[in-house]
Amino acid sequence: MSYFDAASSAPLHPVARHALLASLDEGWADPARLYREGRRARMLLDAAREAAAEAVGCRADELVFTSSGTRAVHTGIAGALAGRHRIGRHLIVSAVEHSSVLHAADTHEAGGGSVTQVEVDRQGRVTPASYAAALRPGTALACLQSANHEVGTEQPVAEVAALCRESGVPLLVDAAQSLGWGPVEGDWSLLTGSAHKWGGPSGVGLLAVRKGVRFAPQGPADERESGRAAGFENLPAIVAAAASLRAVRAEAAQEALRLRELTERIRVRVPELVPDVEVVGDPERRLPGIVTFSCLYVDGETLLHELDRAGFSVSSGSSCTSSTLTPSHVLKAMGVLSEGNVRVSLPTGTGAEDVERFLEVLPGAVAGVRDKLGAPAPAATVQQDVLVVDALGKRCPIPVIELAKVIGDVPVGGLVRVLSDDEAARLDIPAWCEMREQEYVGEEPAERGTAYLVRRVA
Active site residues: 320
Q: How many angstroms separate the CA atoms of 110 and 62, rounded? A: 30
- Compute the distance between CA of residue 398 and CA of residue 396 in angstroms, rounded to an integer: 5
Q: How many helices (H) and strands (E) does the chain have?
A: 12, 17
**Residues 6 or more apart in contact with residue 49 via CB below 8 angstroms:** 60, 63, 65, 242
Task: Tell me how far apart the alpha carbons of residues 349 and 276 are, in angstroms, rounded to a whole number.
Answer: 31
Task: Give per-residue burial for 330-363: e unless 16+ CB within 10 Å, then b.
Answer: bbbbbbbbbbbbbbbbbbbebeeebbeebbebbe
CA distance 448 to 390: 10
CB 79 within 8 A of CB 102: no
C-alpha dist (Å) from residue 167 to 45, 136, 143, 172, 191:
36, 8, 14, 14, 19
> CA torsion angle for 282, 285, 289, 291 (degrees, to 10)?
10
Nearest Cα residue to 195 out of 11, 61, 59: 11
Burial of 411 (0-12, 13-18, 19+ CB in 10 A): exposed
Contact 225, 207 (CB under 8 A): no
| Stretch (H or E) spanning 217 | none
Strand ranges of the sheet holding 450-455, from the earlier edge strand across to the other edge: 380-383, 386-390, 415-420, 450-455, 439-445
H or E element at residue 441: strand 439-445
Residue 194: DSSP 8-state: E
